Amino acid sequence: MTDVAAKDSLTVTDNRTGQTYDIAITDNTIAAKDLGQIRLDDEQPGLATYDPGFVNTASCRSSVTYIDGDKGILEYRGYPIEQLAEKSNFLEVAYLLIHGELPTKEQYDAWVHEITYHTFVHENVKTFMQGFRYDAHPMGMLMASVGALSTFYPDARNISDADNRHMQIVRMIAKMPTLGAWSFRHAQGKPYVYPDNDLGYTANFLSMLFKMSESKFEADERLVKALDVLFILHADHEQNCSTNAVRSVGSSQVDPYSAVSAGVGALYGPLHGGANEAVLRMLKRIGSKENIPAFIDGVKDGNERLMGFGHRVYKNYDPRAKIIKKSAEDVFEVTGTNPLLDIALELEKIALEDEYFVKRKLYPNVDFYSGLIYEAFQFPPEMFTVLFAIGRTPGWLAQWSELVQDKDQKIARPKQIYTGDRELTFTAASERWS
Ligand SMILES: CC(C)(COP(=O)(O)OP(=O)(O)OC[C@H]1O[C@@H](n2cnc3c(N)ncnc32)[C@H](O)[C@@H]1OP(=O)(O)O)[C@@H](O)C(=O)NCCC(=O)NCCS
């Protein structure tokens, strides 16, 4: 039995033995290792928790992002996402996530300069990317090429040195748009476009995506702003699947390129980064506003799912969805409206008034409108997740940086409940098959 003050503790009785234990509660959690003292006898392993998917397990302490899903709150380093989307820009938000506080003018200028002058990649990275099949998925190319950067920067293994970590963080935030844009050009059979250091971060990305023979590509400012806001909205989301992948792989003390490559892999999966594409397919299938009531009936009967609605964490309007809706309007002002927007707006209106959705607290999430915007930019659906990955890179790196400096962290190594056979007798193949 442990000697813990009665307050801020949990008293549990193991009914197998009748023993009672006091377990400390800190930050509304108990330490899983404290359960290890609860055991049937000295021969048996201590009690553990079973939690596939970490549904109710905190894996770290973090000061990067705060979410209150019931209230629909998202804050980076304490700043509400609405204010950052309206008044900041992606590179400033990246600085905030990485450094924990807003930059001074000098710090901001130095940061933008550093990022801008690391956008180029080694020519062999280009050759490497050109080796992919003509129809390679851009996420596969991004995952491989960001991982390959670890071989170009072997110094990145020195993760205990703060200056060295900073260098790799700058490189990765700077180079992700280059790699992402080249994976897009590759699929189109178009020449890769080198970065233009006269342009801002997001304008340069658009140039690398869409520039052809013109000497300078100048995107419409409203489109630049809309994409920049989308990057801000995706920049971090606390311990989601890809961030957990970055932390888990990073916990082996591998270099950050390898860890971020694992994050890109996690994001590639349809349960994580692919919902906005599903929204587009759904809207196209509905086809016109008249078909919405029948579609909603199908959802309520359990035959359909209203994609872009509902969230594991948000049981309120996803704060990012509101901002994206506004961005969609701005983008359509430039590109001309998308008939699917009218269907989406009507669908949202009907769903938000319908008891089925109200009762289950199903609100639009970040993906409900983002696919429409990406389509207006003429991105093919395979590129949607690449855009997400570019936006998420500062978040992954802020979390990685926090991880490697956190003395509580250990190599990620969950327990298992073994369900297989034991102590079988092995018979050699020559005997078994004779
Ligand atoms: C995101 C999502 C996976 C969260 O799932 P979850 O937290 O496990 O929520 P649950 O599946 O427990 O849903 C609770 C209830 O709402 C229903 N529900 C959840 N999302 C729904 C949706 N999009 N359309 C219709 N019904 C939905 C479930 O059927 C369940 O109903 P029930 O209580 O009658 O069984 C889920 O809402 C979903 O599939 N949404 C659509 C896909 C999407 O937009 N994903 C992007 C997330 S950013």
Task: Note whether 36 and 10 are within 8 A (CB).
Answer: no
Residues 120 and 10 in one domain: no
Assigned domain for 67 exists: no
Residues 95 and 189 in one domain: yes
Average per-residue pLDDT for the chain:
95
Instruction: Please give the Cα distance from 186 to 149 (Å, whole number).
Output: 18
Residues 273 and 167 in one domain: yes
Task: Note whether 65 and 311 are within 8 A (CB).
Answer: no
Buried b (16+ CB within 10 A) or exposed e, 35-73: beebbeeeeeeebeeeeeeeeeeebbebebbebeeeebe
Expressed in angstroms and rounded, the spacing between residue 360 Cα and the centre of ligand 1 is: 9
The residues pairing with 10 across neighbouring beta strands, listed in sequence order, are 23
Residue 277's pLDDT band (boundaries 50, 70, 90)? Answer: confident
Residues 223 and 124 in one domain: yes
Active site residue 163: no
Expressed in angstroms and rounded, the spacing between residue 189 Cα and the centre of ligand 1 is: 39
Expressed in angstroms and rounded, the spacing between residue 132 Cα and the centre of ligand 1 is: 37
- Atom 44 of ligand 1, residue of closest alpha carbon: 308
Tell me how many domains the chain contains.
Answer: 2
Residue 300 CB contacts under 8 Å (≥ 6 apart), including other chains: 354, 356
- Written as six digits, the tokens of 120 are 């180029």
Assigned domain for 426 exists: no
Of the candidates 85, 74, 414, 364, the residue with the CA atom closest to the CA atom of residue 240: 74
pTM for the full predicted model: 0.93
Reported as a single tens digit per residue, the pLDDT across 74-108 is: 999 999 999 999 999 999 999 999 999 999 999 99
Residues 174 and 95 in one domain: yes
Instruction: Please give the Cα distance from 250 to 242 (Å, whole number).
Output: 12
Residues 87 and 121 in one domain: yes
Residues 31 and 121 in one domain: no
In this structure, what CATH number is given to the domain that contains residue 401?
A: 1.10.580.10
The residues pairing with 22 across neighbouring beta strands, listed in sequence order, are 11
Residues 130 and 93 in one domain: yes
Query: Which domain range does residue 227 map to?
Result: 72-405
Reported as a single tens digit per residue, the pLDDT across 217-228 is: 999 999 999 999
Residue 268 CB contacts under 8 Å (≥ 6 apart), including other chains: 139, 140, 143, 385
DSSP H/E element including 111: helix 105-116
Residues 225 and 315 in one domain: yes
Residues 161 and 250 in one domain: yes
Task: Note whether 82 and 323 are within 8 A (CB).
Answer: yes
Looking at this protein, which amino acid is placed at residue 366?
A: V
Residues 50 and 76 in one domain: no
Ligand 1 atom closest to the CA of 311, numbered from 1: 1
- Written as six digits, the tokens of 409 are 């962290």
Reported as a single tens digit per residue, the pLDDT across 346-381 is: 999 999 999 999 999 999 998 899 989 999 999 999
CA dist list (Å): 8 to 1, 4, 24, 300, 319: 16, 8, 6, 44, 33
| Residues whose beta carbon lies within 6 Å of some atom of ligand 1 | 275, 299, 305-312, 360, 362, 365-367
Residues 234 and 343 in one domain: yes
